[in-house]
Structure 1
């Protein structure tokens, strides 16, 4: 083993990486809170004893990761860190993963089915009157989009997103939204919806009725049938 290959070799880190670490620490410690304006470049240069290029590169890295938003002509601001932000940062990688192998898309379908059954179970247990009214309204909205495949699919996503939101768990809601978006990326053959829209609407309506009746097992069984019928709709482009 050469000296260059030694695992004990001390490497000098880029200044911008060190500035990035310091800025991330300011955010995670709460010194910089969501909505706060970031210190000016000049202030950061003075605080860390580095030049403008290192500060700008570190700020751009924070922006790329979603931790701050850089707006031209305005001070950069710290973003709120939540599940939606975390999943949005992995969105591009997730799409590449799905497109790299048909098996990955099949795995996502399976994960979505298991997730949806859990979500409808929670909805049947804890949906409020307002939640049920919202679900019925979403079914009506979807019915209004008959003949418009893209709008019909978007309304379908809204219905399933609402089911996840009823859980009251923001992580579950964010995961549901991400999985639905990744799946509907692969609806190249929207003709598969042709002639089946009324079936989808009837299934959604039955699911809402079972949730309203607090029939947990019935709602889960109906959702399982709905997903089993619809799973072949999603086809890779």
Structure 2
């Protein structure tokens, strides 16, 4: 469950109250929480319920206890979405039982249209200050690659920053998700290094296109970059 622990507890309380459809007391909530692995004194549960009432998530019903409020139902829906997204991401990044090569190939296929659009928008929208920061990342990547040092974290930083300067928050979030697993970047670096293709020429070409605000060249450079990665992966024994 990829939501903060406090929200996990709130989720369990709201879910229970939604299921019951009526006001319940602290003792009833305590017993439900115990079945879900949360062992709390009844007094502690009472304090939690008062806090949730204060936040507008619950409503007091005389001496009957508390029930879920309209605001609480909205919070429950939000937490349901967060849980689903967290579980989906966990399943996606587990590789679903596929081999490393299959997983990385699928990942590059998913990245391709997103990163191409990111390059196009970055070339169109990046400010001079942002271009300067992108240059710093590319320079550092080249220096570390020439020194034979690990550069996978800089590869990730380059693409995530490129997404940031595209000024499209949705694409930025997608790139962050697709590059969330550092292990993938490390494996790709190992494959490229073994193939003798660890230099940063392709990032440099993407950067130069962005610097010139040349949208078509940025798209072409990114297409070549990802195609070369896929070719290197395909050639892996």
Q: Which residue of 2 aligns with 1:55?
A: 33
Gap runs ≥5 in structure 1 = 1-15, 25-43, 61-74
Q: Which residue of 1 aligns with 2:72?
A: none
Q: Which residue of 2 aligns with 1:124?
A: 123
Q: Which residue of 2 aligns with 1:227?
A: 226
Task: State which of 21, 44, 48 in structure 1 corresponds to 2:15.
Answer: 21
1:174, CA displacement in angstroms? 2.2
Matches within 5 A, 1:174-189: 174-182=173-181, 184-185=183-184, 187=187
| Match status 1:91 vs 2:89 | yes
What is the TM-score of this pair, normalised by structure 1? 0.60
Gap runs ≥5 in structure 2 = 1-9, 39-50, 52-74
What is the TM-score of this pair, normalised by structure 2? 0.60
Matches within 5 A, 1:1-237: 19-21=13-15, 46=25, 50-55=28-33, 88-100=86-98, 105-146=104-145, 147-148=147-148, 150=150, 152-182=151-181, 184-185=183-184, 187=187, 190=190, 192-194=192-194, 195-198=196-199, 201-233=200-232
The number of residues matched between the two structures is 183
After superposition, the Cα gap between the structure-2 partners of 1:129 and 1:97, relative to the gap in structure 1 and judged at 3 Å, is same
Could you tell me how far apart the structure 1 residues matched to 2:197 and 2:104 are?
22
Q: 1:139·1:204 contact (CA, 8 Å) conserved in 2?
A: yes
Could you tell me how far apart the structure 2 residues matched to 1:143 and 1:85 are?
40
Greater per-residue helix proportion: 2
Structure 1 ranges of 4+ moved more than 4 A = 56-60, 83-89, 101-105, 232-237
Could you tell me how far apart the structure 1 residues matched to 2:189 and 2:137 are?
24
Q: 2:123·2:166 contact (CA, 8 Å) conserved in 1?
A: no
Q: 1:207·1:222 contact (CA, 8 Å) conserved in 2?
A: yes
Q: 1:87·1:175 contact (CA, 8 Å) conserved in 2?
A: no
